[in-house]
Chain A
């Protein structure tokens, strides 16, 4: 939890100022009971109104100092904390942007979003509490202690014997609560994942009429969660009454022993001293109560800091600085490339070799799990590990930065993300300076112009977050239009037509052929009709290249390709096949 404190460094001076101011504030608040006991002793008991007036004047001054110190320290600390959370958010966000897909999947985007927002918010709230607590608690406890000591060392000693008892109690309670909180967190997660499943899988659940069972499952998790929260709170709740009881008993003891001392004359302690000490006990009590409350925060702070720090400390390989090097001409080579995902037993790609010339149009065909998407991820340099060599125009991908690669390779992903904003902002993401004519041009190729023309706001049509007000096919077509506005010498299509019907697909492809003439095109597909239109076809099966060549050659020589073709055209299954 201390590692995240490094982000407070730029504000070190301000933090020191806050500490000093809090010191002043606490000292001022300690001065008040001291001055009051002074009034009792030297004013009231001595019947001296002048001394009383002076002391009261001093009290007002102290209160004013406390006020000023308080306001200034709040002014500074609110800035420090806001900046702290801003810095943390930015750091986590930037870090996540450099992670590779494996690392992202390790946590899941949902968890990363929580870490970047709510976790930091919570941490900041705790930090504000801790910052004031860390300063004022010792001052209250030790200041009160010293003042009590000055009033009468023996009586002060009674107070201090109590401190270790409090610490022991706190320790025991916190140790008991920790597992309970963990357990309730576990059931919160469980409840949430069941509810999430019930919402996302509503059709399946209802189709099987399992709604009652699912509901009972969720309620059970809620019930267990509530019981654990109650248990934790009950354990935690014993702290306040227990500490109060202890401190009140200390007061009683001080009065008793004080009276004994006064009566026996063993000590010069006076009634005014005892009045003062009782008030100091109150201050020390405040300090200890604040400490107990801080401890209640502690488990959450520790967990949150660990979660945030985990992300920040993830190692990301360094990238070469090659902003000024030449752009690609469109040549791509895979030389005996092997690749396995983290934790996977088998290779996703084995011994992949191919060479694509600039301007060529090739297809990779294969079913799910055949390795098409993995090839895309390697070309895009989403992953860096793996054996063998990938090179662009003879330059190894390891010597090229990811940014450079992605500047030159344009990719239309199967599940392209549509961002909140307008159609215009989504299409020209990669070309902020493109005018509406260019946007319309791209939309025409993507067969989406008709749709946009029918919209009331046209290009300004507001797209909701996640593109929920668009169909799957419309999203894919926006992604295609988006890619057309991005420059590049290599274009990758990763099953980018899967949500489109064949009619729309064929129209788009016709226009794409004209538009991208002369650029290298790599098309990942499951459809033989798509592959057949390419210069060369690579057939992928289980991460290996099972064959390559033109459509007709493959039909003759490659069993896997023939099977795919036949299954799709139905030339065996039915008599109506097309040759």
Chain B
């Protein structure tokens, strides 16, 4: 299938390394492949013997002069031919069955599961940088391409070469002069294929480039349709598409023409061989010349013609297999890139039980990229059970604090301690087990409303889920959904608003009852009246818990025990709402900005 993406540039050695690895990787299916090869060899033999029998029979028919019992003369050969044909088909079927299972089940599916499992061990930073669509593309299309190439290797490359050798031997035993003609035309086909493949390459490169551009334009236009429409940019985008589309059209025309030229040219060269065999064969037959000790018969000519035709198909297939192998290099590269990503380090120690919730940041420094340090030297001590609000301008690194607390990211230097345990020294799972969390980015998966709430905890009862929903003020709207708690949330969640989604994630956090709580813009999409209600519930939820709250809305945080004001990578102020207002510093400036009514 054509891929709408620009091609990856690769060096020769890189390509070699990848191909080597792909070959090595097929080691996991080596026994299956050995069996496939054995079956292939048998069916190939059957396929090669058949024309010999057939041509002998036809020769007998041609030489028949009306005397003798023709049927008994050819009878045995005919029965043998029937058996060979039957054997050929049966073995061909089993070979196909086997190679299919081997490749699909033990190679393609395994590779997909390897990639899927790999996701478990990838750091969040990798996933943040990676486009989900691209990852899926690698898991589906690229892996398919690899599977097809393995198929091609087994089916055509290996067998094709064997078949070529066998046919060569057979035609030489029939008539070496005619055989030479067949062989003489082989280089011609190969050279022709090579020339046109080479010539079409730059056009294919251009075509892939154009298709990548088309994909980007289309994707961007559709996902930004509201913006496009608001600014009447449809015709601008259409022009953009037309440009890439025209480039695609012209390079594609040339590329496909160049590569399809091979077929008529190779056919022509085969036909020339065909004519020469007929002509020279006929000359020998008419003159009664003997070649290699045998008088040339019509059967010989027929046999060589049939074999010569068999000769061209593996040649063509080998050419195809080689070109598909070249394409597979880029696909394999993209797959191996994912599999080779460095994994997270693993800690076997776990957090001590009964976490109280004392949190310390000691000289914590962090940045997503070195040029732009986000946190420079953060030192905070948070008592168990207190509520901490994190405040600061956009991009100051508020969400980063969450990323560090939950160990989605680790600080470059400094330590984060929970109850005195450095979280870096214990497993991520055990750290996360201490937290309940509601994020700005409401994430619901394809499943029922019930399943989505119950996600927070295993083995909960229906009552628990409903209680959590009631606490989060989600119960009322859930009951109004077509199937209540069993309403299935699909990919394009249209029946639930942004605010309702947020309520569901809040219910989820209510259900999972952990000593620490993170609320990152948890109520940003909830309308203010609901927020007041939730706020009360949240207060209940936060009782005896250490809570970290991030919000733009200052009203959400005025009641916090400590407010941390982050600016330019440092905590510039900390204290209660009243203390900070009295200080009349940066916090006061932010606060007044909100309520400076015109």
Contacts and interface: CB of A to CB of B under 8 A. Distances in A.
A470 to B, nearest CB: 10
Contact of B395 (A430, A471, A527): A471
25 contacts: A45-B62, A67-B267, A71-B264, A82-B250, A86-B245, A97-B228, A113-B222, A121-B2, A122-B2, A193-B491, A199-B127, A203-B124, A230-B101, A255-B54, A259-B64, A259-B70, A272-B62, A367-B526, A367-B528, A368-B499, A482-B231, A502-B554, A502-B590, A503-B593, A506-B594
Interface in B532-556: 532, 535, 552-555
B343 interface: no
A371 B254 CA distance: 54
A563 interface: yes
A173 interface: no
A85 B214 CA distance: 12
B265 A67 contact: yes
A295 B108 CA distance: 25
A501 B66 contact: no
Interface stretch (A55-63, A142-150, A159-167, A330-338): A55-63
B274 A59 contact: yes
Contacts of B500: 368-369
A403 B232 contact: yes
B455 A504 contact: no
Given A259-B64, A263-B71, 8 more contacts: A40-B298, A74-B264, A113-B222, A215-B119, A233-B100, A234-B97, A574-B559, A576-B581
B204 interface: no
A79 interface: yes
Contacts of A287: none
Nearest to A86: B249
Contacts of A89: 214, 241, 245
Contacts of B432: 206-209
A248 interface: yes
B494 to A, nearest CB: 6
B479 to A, nearest CB: 14
B279 interface: yes
Which of A64, A118, A196, A503 counts the most chain B CB atoms within 10 A? A503
A99 B108 CA distance: 39
Contact of A486 (B2, B231, B528, B531): B231
A465 interface: yes
B58 A275 contact: yes
A48 B231 CA distance: 83
A277 to B, nearest CB: 10
A563 B527 CA distance: 11
A51 B302 CA distance: 18
Residue from B127, B285, B528 with most neighbouring chain A CB atoms (10 Å): B528
B558 A576 contact: yes
A27 interface: no
B261 A113 contact: no
Contact of A86 (B136, B246, B456): B246
Interface string A108-124: 11101100111001101
Interface in B54-103: 54, 57-64, 66, 69-71, 74, 78, 81-82, 85-86, 88-90, 92-93, 96-97, 100-101
Given A40-B62, A501-B552, A529 B219 contact: no
Contacts of B22: none
Of A204, A380, A416, chain B has the most CB atoms within 10 Å of the CB of A204
A237 B298 CA distance: 36
Given A211-B120, A219-B117, A275 B302 contact: yes
Contact of B394 (A121, A125, A233, A472): A472
Contact of B61 (A109, A271, A402): A271
Contacts of A223: 109, 113
A207 B435 contact: yes
A370 B215 CA distance: 36
Contacts of B429: 209
Contacts of A117: 4, 211, 214-215, 218
A346 to B, nearest CB: 9
B532 A59 contact: no
Nearest to B241: A93
A94 B248 contact: no
A255 B74 contact: yes
Contact of A49 (B62, B264, B286, B499): B286
Given A49-B286, A417-B223, A256 B598 contact: no
B216 interface: yes
B276 to A, nearest CB: 8
B455 A210 contact: yes
Contacts of A564: 528-529
Interface string B294-309: 0000100110010000
Contacts of A101: 225-226
A238 B120 CA distance: 40
Contacts of B558: 570, 573-574, 576
Given A104-B225, A255-B74, A196 B492 contact: no
B238 interface: yes
Contacts of A533: 597-598
A105 B286 contact: no
B446 interface: yes
Interface string B126-138: 0100101101100
A407 interface: yes
Contact of A36 (B242, B305, B492): B305
Contacts of B285: 44
Contacts of B104: 226, 229-230, 233
B394 A473 contact: yes
Nearest to B68: A263
B220 interface: yes
B386 to A, nearest CB: 17
Given A78-B257, A203-B439, A382 B226 contact: yes
Contacts of A499: 394
A195 B211 CA distance: 25
Interface string A541-579: 000000000010000000010011001111001101010
A230 B105 contact: yes
B578 to A, nearest CB: 6
Top 8 A-B pairs ranked by shortest CB distance? Answer: A367-B527, A417-B224, A70-B264, A271-B62, A533-B598, A473-B394, A368-B499, A226-B109
Contacts of B530: 367
Contact of B499 (A208, A237, A274, A367): A367
A218 B116 CA distance: 7
B267 A563 contact: no
B352 interface: no
Nearest to A404: B232
A382 to B, nearest CB: 6
Interface in B322-377: none
A60 B272 contact: yes
Interface string B259-271: 0110111011001
B108 A226 contact: yes
B331 to A, nearest CB: 15
Interface stretch (A2-10, A239-247, A391-399): A239-247
A368 B264 contact: no
B590 A573 contact: no
B584 interface: no
